[in-house]
Amino acid sequence: MKANYLCPICRTYLNVGDQIVISAKNEKGVKGLLLFSIHLGDYEINKHPNFDIEKNENLSMYCPCCHKSLRYPKAHKNIFKILMQDDEDQEYEILFSGIYGERCTYQIHEKKVNTFGQDASKYINFNNLIDMS
């Protein structure tokens, strides 16, 4: 499926090729770029080998264009949000965990939630998620 991903604040396209570019900061305050797959449920993340992130590290993530935080504490303090447009220009909220190695993604549109990843049950509080959409 052809999809575009946008910053929810400045609405810049975040996907280049088949990857989503996100600016990140690890717990030590070191910054780096993360490349996520555009395919929901694919958790392969590319980064520079010198950008050290430990499993379970609590990342901060930012739009690479407007530098605003993508954190979405209304859902949960570990959850971040970007937007997705599918090939019919339908817009979805994409919520995902900022804990490195945690696999959970929520695709939300008009109170319908699709979940991806083996850790998706961890943050499931659909009322919480849905209230925001």
Residues 64-93 binding Zn ion (CB under 5 A) are 65-66
Q: How many residues bind Zn ion (CB under 5 A)?
A: 6
Which range of residues in 15-23, 37-45, 63-71, 120-128 is near Zn ion by CB under 5 A? 63-71
Binding to Zn ion by residue 63, rule CB under 5 A?
yes
Residue 63 CB, shortest distance to Zn ion, in Å, is 3
Query: Is 10 a residue that touches Zn ion (CB under 5 A)?
Result: yes
Instruction: Decide if residue 7 touches Zn ion (CB under 5 A).
Output: yes
Task: Return the number of other C-beta atoms located less than 10 Å from residue 22's C-beta.
Answer: 25
- Point out which span in 5-13, 19-27, 50-58, 91-99 binds Zn ion (CB under 5 A): 5-13
**Which C-beta is closer to Zn ion: that of 83 or that of 113?**
83
Does 30 help bind Zn ion (rule: CB under 5 A)? no
Q: Alpha-carbon distance 31 to 23, whole Å?
A: 7
Cα separation, 7 vs 64, in Å, equals 9
> Strand (E) positions, the chain?
4-6, 15-16, 19-25, 31-37, 45-46, 60-62, 79-85, 91-97, 105-109, 112-116
32 vs 41, which CB is nearer to Zn ion? 32
- The nearest distance, CB 106 to Zn ion, in angstroms, is 20
- Per CB under 5 A, residues contacting Zn ion are 7, 9-10, 63, 65-66
